[in-house]
Each structure stands twice: as C-alpha cells, then as structure tokens.
C-alpha cells in the first residue's frame, strides 16, 4: 500500500506582504550536448537531483527525427501540471473533490508578427465532469491568478542571464 504525500500548507489568499521575492522551492536543469546548430534545442536535459534526465530532439514538424521530447512539450507539461495543482487546491478549499479534474495544455511555437522572431501560444482546456459552469468560473479565475505559470504567461517573469566565468 502506497502512502500519500502530505499536502503542503499553501495558501490561496494573497497573504504575503514581504518586500521581495521569497523562494519556496528551487530547481536547476542543465541542457548540454546535442548536434543542433539551427537554434533549436537538442542534447540532454538533466535536473540537479537527477530525477529528470531526458534527451531533447527537434519535433518532426521542424525537421527533426521526433525521437525525444522538446522544450514545448516540457513547457506544456509544466503549465498543465501547475494549473492542475492550483485548481485542485482551490477546489479542495471550496470543499469540492478535484479527483476528476484534468488540464490539457497545448503549446504552439510560431513566428511573432510584431517583431519577426518567435513566440509561444498556450491554450488550456480544463475538464471537470459534473461541475456547474457557474461554480467553476470563479474557481478558474482564482486559479488563474494563483498559478505561477499563468502569471508568467500573462505578466512575464523576472529573468536574469549571466555568462559563467
């Protein structure tokens, strides 16, 4: 019998009044190697704890062999997982069972008409069988403001780029 992990004590309230960002969890993933010289990721992605260790490949639609995952798939998985987790927390706090909730994230990679570069587009589809849309709507709004991936998508995210010595 598998014992479930205890739920973290996370709040959905906007109850933090600190003066700066306070990390709760940090991870590092390093991408290295690969043969691509065309601006698309290939090689190996490995997390600092070794749990994530995958080969990156270009999708067939972009001329690759499609025999590995790609950054868009990883981003879609992260976004869907984050939104699902936040919605599950919000649902539990509203005394609703989140077991039937699923979140599908579709990430499209394409050209940005504003500057000619590249852009990602994200479409989320939430499936929650049996929920009244009028009950779900405010919970989805609360989740949208709670989920850090959604906040990143709508507001941007602070980023630093440093060349290591």
Over residues 12-30, the pLDDT tens digits come to 777 777 788 888 788 999 8
* Residue 37: pLDDT over 60: no
Question: Quick check: is 12 in a domain?
Answer: no
Quick check: is 1 in a domain? no
11 domain residue, yes or no: no
Distance separating alpha carbons of residues 33 and 5, to the nearest angstrom: 35
Which tokens in the block code for residue 24? 């709760």
- Domain, as residue range, for 56: 29-155
Q: How far apart are CA 74 and CA 69, in angstroms?
A: 7
Per-residue model confidence as pLDDT tens digits over 116-141: 888 899 999 999 999 999 999 999 99
Mean pLDDT of 62-89: 91
* Count of domains forming the chain: 1
Residue 163 included in any domain: no
φ and ψ of 42, to 5 deg: -145, 175
CATH number of the domain at 102, please. 3.30.300.20
Residue 81 confidence (pLDDT) = 96
pLDDT digits (tens, 9 = 90+) for 94-111: 999 999 999 999 999 888
DSSP label of 60: G
Beta-bridge partner residues of 103: 126
């Amino acid at each position: 019998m598998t014992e479930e992990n205890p739920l973290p004590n996370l709040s959905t309230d906007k109850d933090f009044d600190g003066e700066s960002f306070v990390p709760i969890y940090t991870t590092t993933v390093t991408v290295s190697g690969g043969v691509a010289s065309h601006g698309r990721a290939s090689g190996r992605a490995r997390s600092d704890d070794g749990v994530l260790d995958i080969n990156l490949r270009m999708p067939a639609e972009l001329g690759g062999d499609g025999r590995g995952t790609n950054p868009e798939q990883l981003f879609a998985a992260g976004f869907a997982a984050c939104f699902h987790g936040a919605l599950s927390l919000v649902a539990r706090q509203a005394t609703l069972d989140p077991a039937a909730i699923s979140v599908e994230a579709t990430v499209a990679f394409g050209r940005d008409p504003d500057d000619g570069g590249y852009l990602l587009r994200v479409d989320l589809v939430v499936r929650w069988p049996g929920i009244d849309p009028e009950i779900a709507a405010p919970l989805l709004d609360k989740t949208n403001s709670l989920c850090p991936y959604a906040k990143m998508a709508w507001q941007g995210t602070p980023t630093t780029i440093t060349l290591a010595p």
